Amino acid sequence: MSDRYCVFGHPIGHSRSPQIHAAFAEQTGQALTYEAIEAPLDDFAGAWHRFIASGGRGANVTVPFKEEACRLSDVLSPRARRAGAVNTLVLGNNGETCGDTTDGIGLVRDLQYQAAPLEKARILVLGAGGAVRGILEPLLGARPATLMIANRTAEKARRLAREFFDLGETTGGGFDEVVGTFDLVINGTSASLGGEIPPLPDDLFADDALAYDMMYGDEPTAFLAWSGEHGARTADGLGMLVEQAAESFFLWRNVRPDTAAVRKRLRPER
């Protein structure tokens, strides 16, 4: 009998995680199933407990449940505890829910693949929710010159910046406080799901800057389309999805899949 895994989100119909994990399972000879489940906005914990009651062994968690998944976990990895957000749940042998975050390592691996500027770079991160919390520690570990967090609610960005300031030069504020140019701009808001972009200045990008959207789709997101029109190189979050999925797969199965082969399968033209 195959072990069961899933991804929880709301919405979740766009997710390519089932396709990715099916490819990993085929590649590594692992017997498992993986599905997408749209959890109720007011009952994420119930969705997780129903899933494990039906034989589930682990799950990925996407927007808007990453911070709730952190609170749900009985045991947290050090990186998840620092982030205050969880994107990977593992059912322990003793029945405990173990929470981890693989978003940050997945993002940094994909940024390296995209030849993104990191060390000594000026980085702007848009958003201050669970998706952003999970990427700040590894981003700051790459030793940028500065990292600014900009959010619609300015104080939330400032609090998050203070929380991570010990890891590097980190500031926070509202979108109207974004000034100067940046080498890397990461959209961690959910605006792309609605075809919107945060209000940003037109002169945002330095020469050869990369605009990166943690969301992904068959067509460029609104943020990436705008960024391309303003002179930036662009990349969406599909590569990050593959890389963080590989790390989750390793946590569940103790086998590390080949991400290059799956990247090529998802986008053979690239």
8 Å CB contact between 21 and 32:
yes
Is 29 annotated as contributing to ligand binding?
A: no
- Burial label, 230 (beta-carbon count in 10 A; 0-12, 13-18, 19+): middle
The separation between the first and the last C-alpha atoms of the chain, rounded to the nearest angstrom, is 36
Q: Are 36 and 12 in contact (CB under 8 A)?
A: yes
The alpha carbon of residue 35 and the mean position of all alpha carbons in its chain are separated, in whole angstroms, by 19
The answer to the question of whether 93 is labelled as a binding residue is: no
Q: With CA atoms as reference, report the closest residue to 111 among 123, 128, 100, 101.
A: 123
The alpha carbon dihedral of 250, 256, 259, 265 has a sign of: negative
Q: Is 39 marked as a binding-site residue?
A: no
The answer to the question of whether 155 is labelled as a binding residue is yes
Q: Is 233 annotated as a binding residue?
A: no
Contact 114, 239 (CB under 8 A): yes
Any known ligand binding at 156?
yes
Enter the DSSP assignment of 77.
-
Is 19 labeled as ligand-binding?
A: no
Q: Tell me: is residue 34 an annotated ligand-binding position.
A: no
Ligand-binding site membership of 153 (annotated): yes
Tell whether 237 is in a known binding site.
Answer: yes
> Any known ligand binding at 146?
no
Determine whether the annotation assigns residue 180 to a binding site.
no
Asked if residue 13 belongs to a known ligand binding site, the reply is: no
Catalytic residue among 21, 57, 66, 79: 66
Reported for 255-263, long-range contacts at CB under 8 A and 24+ positions apart, including other chains, are 255/28, 255/30, 257/23, 257/24, 257/27, 257/28, 258/27, 259/109, 261/23, 261/27, 262/20, 262/23, 262/24, 262/27, 263/239
120 catalytic? Reply is no
CA dist., res. 98 & res. 43, Å (int): 19
**Is 103 known as a binding-site position?**
yes
Q: Which backbone phi and psi does 240 adopt, to 5 degrees?
A: -60, -40
Active-site residue set: 66
Output the known binding site: 15-17, 62, 87, 103, 127-131, 151-156, 214, 216, 237, 244
Output the known binding site for NADP(+): 127-131, 151-156, 214, 237
Output the known binding site for shikimate: 15-17, 62, 87, 103, 216, 244
